[in-house]
Structure 1
Amino acid sequence: MKQEMPLKGLQRGTGEAYDRLQREDLLSRLRFAPEAGHIWLDGKRMFLLHTGAFGTLRQELIETVGPAEARGILTRMGYQSGARDAELAKKVRSDLSYFERFCVGPQLHALEGIVLVEAVKVEVDVERGHHYGEFVWHESVEDEAHIMAYGIGTEPVCWMQIGYASGYASAFMGRSILYREVSCRATGDSACRIIGKPLEQWQDAEEDVSYFRAQGFVNRTVVDFGATQSREAATRNERGAGSQGRHRDARMLIGASAGFNIVCHAIKRVAPTDAPVLILGESGVGKEMFARALHGESSRSDKPFIAVNCAAIPEQLIESELFGVEKGAFTGAVSSRPGRFERANGGTLFLDELGCLSLPAQSKLLRAVQEGEIERVGDTKQRQVDVRIIAATNEDLRDAVERKTFREDLFYRLNVYPVQIPPLRERTEDIYLLMEYFLDRLTKRHRRDVSGFTDRAIDALLAHDWPGNVRELENVIERAVILASDGGSIDVYHLPEIVARSKRRGLMNPSISGQLVDCEELPLRESAANTAAITDLSVRDNLSEEVPAPDLIFAALERHRGNLSAAARELGLTRAQIAYRAEKLGYAGLFRRRS
């Protein structure tokens, strides 16, 4: 099979083409350093493990936690490994076709001593989200370990390897790809055979997907205001959330990274108790989503969940908001009304941005938390409340205690069970799952037909450090969905904020206009053809039917470092016309004008 494939569109490969691919580029990145006790694969530390030791570990997992839990642990471990190898694949063969880049994964699987891979059929179209992979596995180390312990059985057992294949393909494609083992040597077959395709193309994938989730509540609706909610969910949310958020879409907890799964385990452990929980993490990591998940897993799930943003309530009103007010307590109090504590009675009160509370408000909160008693403003009557407190902050409360801006006794009362949510930049495996989720949700919301992400858009999104975390990612994708053409894909020029920040951080080579280059092992690379075709052409000589208008405008602004007049002359527009278009496309202010 001749390997002269374009860099865009559907690409196919066969076993014969796969067998002809060289492995020297991968072998050259494997380095043994016995003097330091290290083995390196492209700057990532590896280690060797006896098959017998792996078999013992595998058997102990099965006997200790049961086959289903053991399968989940090994599947998720393989998923993490596959996702990391996808980063290497895009970097080591950045100038080759998608097919050649995708085949890095199977080759690495063999290089790492896991299994010998034979490719049967591979179809890859990243922009359209099309994927079909069929492979045969020979001499699987996981089969060997299982057969030694349990002999021939009735169920496929290459759990870690299926996780690897699914994680690798998902990270490579920027969407959820599920591989399934349809034949296995551990069931008496001569070899193992796997088939992979997008998750939505499998009709009965729920059981397979469950092994990728650390807990059952992951990928389950957390805020059920979508049209497909059950009658019970609608009733529960009507009681628990009141009228707030009723126009929002259904939202889910999405993730597969180790950091995400650790948080899920922590929530599952504390949920059945009534202990206060302090959720810590940067702005935008989804602290309220995890709080809602915790409430949903608790014995209070059928009772109200009341959320309070402490930063959004003026200091003079915080007491009445939390504890309620009696009629005539102050000017304007024309009727009595309960506060958030009373409304949350029997359920959960979520206090977001806890560090913004004033010291007087903290004192009153402490009594409510400690004694379970509240007193409305203007009242002398003590009211008993049964409320589970979940607090959240992006501040360092220990530091605030030292600065005397946060009460030490309140801190220790709420810090019974802290849960730290890692930032998105430390959860790369979650980014492409969130990309797919937001793309699907936002195209429906805005009634747009956007097929997916280009390869360089995926690379740019994975390389970004996401200071605004999940909230920023959603914002960026929503804007890209609006900018992208119907029927097209999201490309890097639909991500102007990401490109601009990449330039400032040195991820874009300033000497080569528009060309993304690798920096600090981040996978922000692109096969030069697409980018060079835009930036190195004489823009005015290429008509818009060949290159989309956003490409032309972005390229011209990039070539002239934001000089609107020069870019307008090149495009044959007036300065006012290009300024208007740049503003509409979101490019305004992204480029500094060369003095």
Structure 2
Amino acid sequence: MGDLLSLLRFNADSGHIWLDEHRMMLLHTRALAELRKELLDSLGVKRARGLLIRMGFASGQRDGELAVKERRGGMPVEQAFMLGPQLHSIEGAVLVEKIHVELDMASKHFFGEFLWTNSWECEAHIADFGYGEDPQCWQQIGYASGYTSAFVGRLVAFKEIECRSMGDSQCRIVGQPAEDWHDDEYVDYFRPQRIGEKLIDFNIGLEHLRAVQPRREYDNKLVGVSPGFRAAFDLLRSAANSAITVLLLGETGVGKEVFARWLHDNGPRASGPFIAVNCAAIPSELIEAELFGVEKGAYTGAHHARAGRFERAHNGTLFLDETGDLPLATQVKLLRVLQTGEIERLGSEEPLKLNVRIVAATNVNLQQAMQAGKFRSDLFYRLNTFPITIPPLRERTADIAPLVQRFVDKFCELYGKKLRGLTDRALRDVLAHPWPGNIRELENVIERAVLLAPEGGTIEALHLWGTGSGQQVDKQIDASGQVTLRRGDALAGLCEQVLEQQIDLASLEQRLLQTAMQRAKGNLSKAARLLGITRPQLAYRLKKEGLPAA
């Protein structure tokens, strides 16, 4: 990678960027995305796809010629071939990871499988058209095919078998000689076309209306296109029209209550009440009264009869969140309710027959809780009739972008702001974050960012994490030359630099005090605020270091 970077030269005086002897250009990906969108709108999907594939193919051929030149200079064959994926990364198109390569130059045999990360074309298509059923990295497929064809000396065609635009977690491509695909229609995309004549013969506008890919629909409350989300949602949908007890499993913040409410709203009980109760938020001595109600005089202070959550949910749905935290005594009574459909208020001996659908949820491993004696096995098997596991956000990265857009729209409306969305860098930062708090954490971060972003502007990385959060976004180039965005602790990064440069603590403190006083223009109080200490503390430190206090 280092040798390749040495071939990249910027000449601002002449207005040239060179990669070896090939002239290059820097373009905004948003500008390319607008061009791509206009091609789709003007030509229809099939012709735009072919044109973009052939554009990429031509670009790949040029880089393939550069790799062949390096191979002739004595570089090992596979090492020379891998210059192509490295060039694709340097040029900003996508990060390429090799899975498997078979390459025999004598017989011109080739088979390769690669993973793509941070595809600009994927990001552009999702932003403009949403998710669909077909892969969308057309220009990049063309590049990979053109590069490999030039390197091997025969037509090699790549296919994208997984794509983030289809909801997959990553893009995966496979390449082999064109004839091995046994798909003439697909291979035709890589051959030159006389598109001008076809534009005259066909009414492109009408064809576009029939052929342009529709935005994939998702529910107006549940947002998701990833395979994990779709699997959970398909289970949810299949249970909607029945009265079966559903157990929602997953980490805190994955959206269990949103799933439960969708189940209620799309079932036969939609006109009835939806009552949610967080079992972990109610003291153990009050949980039974909250769930089952009380009669007047049932205990000291019970001056009035009161219906519990079960009664209020009659002919509707009761959502029991954090069920794993229920006391054992309450678990016994809950089991009886599930078995008989009847409750008894505290202080009453008259059972009440109720028609309530139970949806339970927990982030506790109930099987481990059973083994520890904290959860009854008979209640577990009763609740576990129809379990649905909602995957954490880190396993459904394809859902992050549409969730971000949903929250941006929501909070812009709430706070009366107009924003243009996230910058490319901010979106990459969001996609790279592990989101331990899942969707709830994402929502909170976006709400803060909407408040911090300027009216009519865009959300930047600093708006996401807040200026006081200690988070920063910077570029990192690893040993393989891969450029990624890294978010880290700014203080930790500063400490690492101090230690690496062997700066002693006394010098660091003295320089920090001087810098604060210079920035505050000698104002002791202002300098103290910059340093996060009191004015007397600063005066003492200045005196100790022999520095002027004004």
Matched, 1:301 2:261: no
Structure 1 pair 473–498 and aligned structure 2 pair: CA distance change class (3 A): farther
The answer to whether the 8 Å contact 1:305/1:350 transfers is: yes
Within the candidate set 33, 43, 58, 2:97 is matched to 43
**Secondary structure, aligned partner of 2:422:** coil
Q: 2:453: which partner in 1? A: 484
Within the candidate set 270, 274, 289, 1:320 is matched to 289
Q: 1: CA distance between counterparts of 2:385 and 2:322?
A: 18
Matched, 1:525 2:525: no
Deviation, structure 1 residue 567: 6.3
Q: Which amino acid aligns with 2:141?
A: H
Within the candidate set 316, 319, 322, 1:347 is matched to 316
Deviation, structure 1 residue 20: 4.5
Q: 1:155: which partner in 2? A: none
- Mind listing any 5+ residue stretches in structure 2 that lack a counterpart? 1-15, 17-22, 37-51, 68-79, 86-94, 103-112, 123-135, 147-155, 172-185, 200-207, 487-493, 495-507, 533-550
The answer to whether the 8 Å contact 2:55/2:139 transfers is: no
Whose radius of gyration is greater, 1 or 2? 2
**Secondary structure, aligned partner of 2:358:** strand
Q: 1: CA distance between counterparts of 2:389 and 2:323?
A: 15
Q: Deviations over 1:151-207 (max 9, x none)?
A: xxxxxxxxx99x969559x999xxxxxxxxxxx999xx99799xxxxxxxx999999
Q: 1:107: which partner in 2? A: 139
Within the candidate set 372, 379, 382, 1:403 is matched to 372
Q: 1:239: which partner in 2? A: none
The answer to whether the 8 Å contact 1:307/1:352 transfers is: yes
Q: 1: CA distance between counterparts of 2:142 and 2:29?
A: 28
The answer to whether the 8 Å contact 1:29/1:42 transfers is: no
Q: 1:361: which partner in 2? A: 330
Within the candidate set 208, 214, 220, 1:208 is matched to 214
Deviation, structure 1 residue 253: 1.1
Q: Which amino acid aligns with 2:139?
A: Q
Within the candidate set 82, 104, 109, 1:28 is matched to 82
Matched, 1:219 2:219: yes
**Secondary structure, aligned partner of 2:248:** strand
Q: 2: CA distance between counterparts of 1:521 and 1:378?
A: 72
**Equivalent residues in 2 for 1:326-341, closer than 5 Å:** 326-341=295-310
**Secondary structure, aligned partner of 1:42:** strand
**Secondary structure, aligned partner of 2:368:** helix
Q: Which amino acid aligns with 1:435?
A: V
The answer to whether the 8 Å contact 1:564/1:579 transfers is: no
**Equivalent residues in 2 for 1:264-279, closer than 5 Å:** 264-279=233-248
Q: Which amino acid aligns with 1:109?
A: I
Deviation, structure 1 residue 483: 1.6
Structure 1 pair 524–499 and aligned structure 2 pair: CA distance change class (3 A): farther
Structure 1 pair 337–579 and aligned structure 2 pair: CA distance change class (3 A): farther
Deviation, structure 1 residue 396: 0.5
Deviates more, 1:280-289 or 1:341-350: 341-350
Q: Deviations over 1:227-247 (max 9, x none)?
A: xxxxxxxxxxxxxxxxxxxxx
Matched, 1:389 2:358: yes
Matched, 1:371 2:340: yes
Structure 1 pair 204–572 and aligned structure 2 pair: CA distance change class (3 A): farther
Matched, 1:464 2:433: yes
The answer to whether the 8 Å contact 2:225/2:398 transfers is: yes
Q: 1: CA distance between counterparts of 2:261 and 2:394?
A: 23
The answer to whether the 8 Å contact 1:274/1:388 transfers is: yes
Q: Deviations over 1:392-442 (max 9, x none)?
A: 011101100000011111111101111111110111101111111111111
**Equivalent residues in 2 for 1:188-207, closer than 5 Å:** none
Structure 1 pair 364–105 and aligned structure 2 pair: CA distance change class (3 A): same
Q: 1: CA distance between counterparts of 2:393 and 2:404?
A: 12
Q: Which amino acid aligns with 1:525?
A: L
**Secondary structure, aligned partner of 1:367:** helix
Q: 1: CA distance between counterparts of 2:347 and 2:279?
A: 21
Deviation, structure 1 residue 369: 1.0
Q: 2: CA distance between counterparts of 1:402 and 1:467?
A: 27
Q: 2: CA distance between counterparts of 1:166 and 1:309?
A: 36
Q: 1: CA distance between counterparts of 2:210 and 2:527?
A: 51
Q: 2:118: which partner in 1? A: 87
**Secondary structure, aligned partner of 1:307:** strand
Q: Which amino acid aligns with 1:395?
A: V
Deviation, structure 1 residue 329: 1.4
Q: 1: CA distance between counterparts of 2:388 and 2:524?
A: 53
**Secondary structure, aligned partner of 1:315:** coil
Q: 1: CA distance between counterparts of 2:479 and 2:248?
A: 33
Q: 1: CA distance between counterparts of 2:452 and 2:527?
A: 16
The answer to whether the 8 Å contact 1:327/1:336 transfers is: yes
Q: Which amino acid aligns with 1:371?
A: T
Deviation, structure 1 residue 4: 4.1
Deviation, structure 1 residue 42: 3.3
**Secondary structure, aligned partner of 1:269:** helix
**Secondary structure, aligned partner of 1:494:** helix
Q: 1: CA distance between counterparts of 2:453 and 2:528?
A: 19
**Secondary structure, aligned partner of 2:298:** coil
Q: 2: CA distance between counterparts of 1:485 and 1:516?
A: 28
Structure 1 pair 47–108 and aligned structure 2 pair: CA distance change class (3 A): farther
Structure 1 pair 380–518 and aligned structure 2 pair: CA distance change class (3 A): farther
Deviation, structure 1 residue 105: 3.2
Q: Deviations over 1:97-149 (max 9, x none)?
A: xxxxxxx93333336779xxxxxxxxxxxxxxxxxxxxxxxx9999xxxxxxx
Q: 2: CA distance between counterparts of 1:404 and 1:425?
A: 31
**Secondary structure, aligned partner of 2:369:** helix
Q: 1: CA distance between counterparts of 2:531 and 2:210?
A: 46
Deviation, structure 1 residue 23: 5.0
Q: 2:231: which partner in 1? A: 262
Deviation, structure 1 residue 267: 0.6
- Mind listing any 5+ residue stretches in structure 1 that lack a counterpart? 32-40, 49-80, 92-103, 115-138, 143-159, 173-183, 194-201, 221-251, 509-513, 527-534, 536-559, 584-595
Deviation, structure 1 residue 499: 11
Q: 1:452: which partner in 2? A: 421
**Secondary structure, aligned partner of 1:308:** strand
Structure 1 pair 490–367 and aligned structure 2 pair: CA distance change class (3 A): same
Deviation, structure 1 residue 44: 6.3
The answer to whether the 8 Å contact 2:520/2:526 transfers is: no
**Secondary structure, aligned partner of 1:441:** helix
Deviation, structure 1 residue 450: 2.4
**Secondary structure, aligned partner of 1:337:** coil
Structure 1 pair 520–415 and aligned structure 2 pair: CA distance change class (3 A): farther
Deviation, structure 1 residue 208: 2.2
Cα root mean square deviation, aligned: 5.0
Q: Which amino acid aligns with 1:278?
A: L
Matched, 1:494 2:493: no
Q: 1: CA distance between counterparts of 2:482 and 2:267?
A: 40
Structure 1 pair 462–285 and aligned structure 2 pair: CA distance change class (3 A): same
Q: 2: CA distance between counterparts of 1:140 and 1:576?
A: 68
Deviation, structure 1 residue 316: 1.4
Structure 1 pair 380–13 and aligned structure 2 pair: CA distance change class (3 A): closer
